[in-house]
Amino acid sequence: MNTTVIIAKQEKITVEVIREALTSEGYDVKATTSSKQETSELLKKYNPDLLILGCELSGMTNMDALKSLTISSNTKLIMFTRNSDLEEALLAIKLGVSGYVNVDIDLAELMLCVKAVLNGSKYFCSITRNTLFMLDGQQQAARPIKNSKLSDQENRILNLVAEGKTNDEIADNLSIAPNTVNNHRANIRKKLDLKGGKSILLQYAISQKNYFG
């Protein structure tokens, strides 16, 4: 069964670009809407796997819309926002947002966010992370990555990938063969459905390493 998605956002051109990108990846976009009332009705009708909530829905702020919508625990939520404010981002986390992305990110990063969120992870775009993790000019310590879909060894490797370690360095660190590292990396990409160039695993790992909640 295909993953179902609803896009609730006003800008029609942007919505269409996102819809086409999701559809090309095999996601089932059930509906697009710019109305808070219609969003509420569509959530009840489809109980989607993912809701992408866009900027200023029906004249409401994202936070107002989020607070007023009844969203099933089965529905993952990505907030698509113009705001990278620390206070709003942390409040969004408390209200159940799994992905928090700025409208200025490129489409490739949005798709990476979609995959991460649907895999049960949190994702914050590079623009937002710069706000989240730079307080008083000092970067906060990142928590280790721990994804429930991965084995302990795979999580160790993902943490080392996020630190920029090479395969040989990871092998030395874990006292395993470089080929074993390669096999683990392939298994991680498969389990997390990470498709793309060679850097896709590094991009994903960095996005997770920088999250704390």
Same domain, 145 and 178: yes
* Least confident range of 37-46, 69-78, 115-124, 191-200: 191-200
The residue to which tokens 């914050």 are assigned: 124
Same domain, 80 and 49: yes
Q: How many domains does the chain have?
A: 2
Same domain, 120 and 163: no
DSSP state of 58: G
pLDDT at 136: 37
Positive or negative CA dihedral for 168, 174, 179, 181? negative
What value does the mean pLDDT of the chain take? Answer: 83
Same domain, 37 and 84: yes
Give dist(CA 155, CA 21) in Å, integer. 29
Residue 194 pLDDT > 90: no
Residue 101 has φ and ψ, to the nearest 5°, of -130, 145
What CATH code is carried by the domain that includes residue 203? 1.10.10.10
The average pLDDT across 80-92 equals: 75
pLDDT at 121: 82
Positive or negative CA dihedral for 23, 25, 27, 33? negative
The pTM score is: 0.66
Provide the domain limits for residue 192: 141-209
Same domain, 146 and 115: no
Same domain, 115 and 22: yes
Give dist(CA 187, CA 190) in Å, integer. 5
Residue 19 has φ and ψ, to the nearest 5°, of -60, -45
Higher pLDDT, 125 or 22: 22
The average pLDDT across 154-165 equals: 87
Residue 140 pLDDT > 60: no
The structure tokens listed for 166 are 């090479």
Query: Which domain-ending residue is among 137, 155, 176?
Result: 137
CB atoms within 10 A of CB 199: 9
The residue among 168, 150, 159, 171 whose CA lies nearest residue 202 is 159
Give dist(CA 153, CA 110) in Å, integer. 28
What CATH code is carried by the domain that includes residue 122? 3.40.50.2300
pLDDT at 76: 95
Query: Which domain-ending residue is among 81, 110, 137?
Result: 137
